[in-house]
Structure 1
Amino acid sequence: MTDLPDPAPVLNSWVLLKPGAASNAFEGTVHRLVQSLKLGLVAPGEKLPPERELASMLGVSRDTVREAISALVEAGYLEAKRGRYGGTFAKNPLPTSSALSETSSRVASIIDTLALRAVVEVGIVRRLAHQELPRESRERLWRAHEECQAADLADYRVYDTRLHLLMGELVDAPSLVPVLADIRMRVNELLDQIPLLQPNIEHSCEQHQRIVQAILRGRPDVASVEMEEHLAGTEALLRGFLD
């Protein structure tokens, strides 16, 4: 009897590792890797492809892949081994999520919160960029960005929250700030359930700067696009870790 070749796998382990949005390359890479791990496409203990191959599959730079792998090693999702048989391996077991107990409730909460946030915060920066902000307001906005940029990792979320709330305050619609604060509370509750990743923080600071600059230069379309990309990065991480 002739030996038959091993059948092809039903589903390629790397089916999710495809190019995503270039504007949020790090967050997208983390998202796709975590999804592959949590869905069991990459088995516990399985070795990941080399960085060069992953970068090609995802359409990102090797530096981005290296940063994403490093962040996920620190978060306990991957394990780096040295030596002849070394490489990057899926952790066994994966970390357990401290998220909401019911998956359906968790997903519904993420979808609802992020949809509300997108509608409100994109609208806020567009409105601000249309306004003639007083000098004091312009200085406050830039200072809030600088304080967020200079914040330690442990304090980053506080300063990030303050910057976003200040944008709402400067619109000068008193009823808006409580709405924005409620949304931000919900966002922070979700963010508290995922690891703080330094490359994501650095990327967020760069996006904050572009958003604030667009507002101060009176460019509502640019401010809107930059905020949409900023929120998309957060969404990618939340969906990757919590979906």
Structure 2
Amino acid sequence: MPQTDAGGEAGGSGDRLAPVLRPVRAGNGFEEALEQILQVVRLGLVPAGGRLPAERELAERLGISRVTLREVLKVLQDEGLVESRRGRYGGTFVRPRSDAGGQDELRRRSRAVDIEDVLRFREVLEVGAAGLCAAHGLAPEQAARLRGALAATHDAPLTEYRRLDTLLHLTLAELCGSPSLAARYAAVRAGLNDLLDCIPLLVRNLEHSQRQHIALVEAVLDGDADGAREMTREHCAGTAALLRGFLM
């Protein structure tokens, strides 16, 4: 029996993946690559039993290294969405869909909120808070508090990471000088965490997120308002890409 490949059914023609697979942006390569391949799987662009493009082709189309691609595929395999086969007819194959409980719960919770609104509002609040902190400067005790919140996330166990990550972002919001902004951010972050709790904690994503945290805090402490705002936008985009990917 001929293999079913990504370009279409066996014997078919055309590139059905073109609307989804595209070069990712440099800032969030892992997250955006994961989002795109999740879309390919969730949209059924490669049917159950079908084979994804070869690693070399996928890496080239996404504009990422094969190392990063393999980490993405490992996540999909761990989630039971794809399987790897060796040999002459090997490759990465889409498994029959069987949604995990967490993905079902994510979809259930997402029906009660406008996720795009939550993500945009979160970005507006965090970008604004970071810019204000950098532009106005922090007192020594405030700077020490921000450094402490960042330090607490270093080497945090997975079971504690999301809580400590939340505290870091809440600290930044509180230090911006606007109690109203801090209160609104706390509310939107609670809703966001309700959704994030339904998706797996991915080590590669957390490592990348941590590098962004460090760059963000450095920009704030250096008084680089533009840099702080841009890093915050990039950081929020990574979270948005993961949520959108798992919702497809």
TM-score for the superposition, normalised by structure 2: 0.88
Report what 1:129 is aligned to: 134
Q: Does 1:17 align with 2:21?
A: yes
Cα deviations across residues 78-128 of structure 1 (Å, max 9, x unaligned)? 21223443321112224242223497x36x621110011011110000000
Q: Does 1:226 align with 2:227?
A: no
Paired residues, number: 235
TM-score for the superposition, normalised by structure 1: 0.90
Report what 1:199 is aligned to: 204
Report what 1:34 is aligned to: 38
Q: Does 1:47 align with 2:43?
A: no
**Unmatched tracts of structure 1, length 5 or more:** 1-5
Report what 2:71 is aligned to: 67
What amino acid is aligned across from residue 173 of structure 1 in structure 2? S
Report what 1:187 is aligned to: 192
Which is worse superposed, 226-235 or 186-195?
Answer: 186-195
Cα contact 1:48–1:88 (8 A) shared by 2: yes
**Unmatched tracts of structure 2, length 5 or more:** 1-10
Partners in 2 of 1:36 and 1:130 — Cα distance? 42
Report what 2:95 is aligned to: 91
Partners in 1 of 2:85 and 2:97 — Cα distance? 16
C-alpha displacement of 1:15: 4.0
Which is worse superposed, 90-99 or 58-67?
Answer: 90-99
Which residue, out of 174, 177, 188, partners 1:169? 174
Partners in 2 of 1:7 and 1:69 — Cα distance? 25
Structure 1 stretches of at least 4 aligned residues deviating more than 6 Å after TM superposition: none
Q: Does 1:100 align with 2:104?
A: no
C-alpha RMSD of matched pairs (Å): 1.8
Cα contact 1:14–1:42 (8 A) shared by 2: no
Report what 1:154 is aligned to: 159
Report what 2:8 is aligned to: none
C-alpha displacement of 1:7: 5.2
Percent same amino acid at aligned positions? 42
Partners in 2 of 1:92 and 1:116 — Cα distance? 36
Partners in 2 of 1:156 and 1:83 — Cα distance? 39
What amino acid is aligned across from residue 204 of structure 2 in structure 1? P
Report what 1:56 is aligned to: 60
Cα contact 2:109–2:195 (8 A) shared by 1: no
Partners in 1 of 2:228 and 2:50 — Cα distance? 42
What amino acid is aligned across from residue 41 of structure 2 in structure 1? L
Cα contact 1:14–1:41 (8 A) shared by 2: no
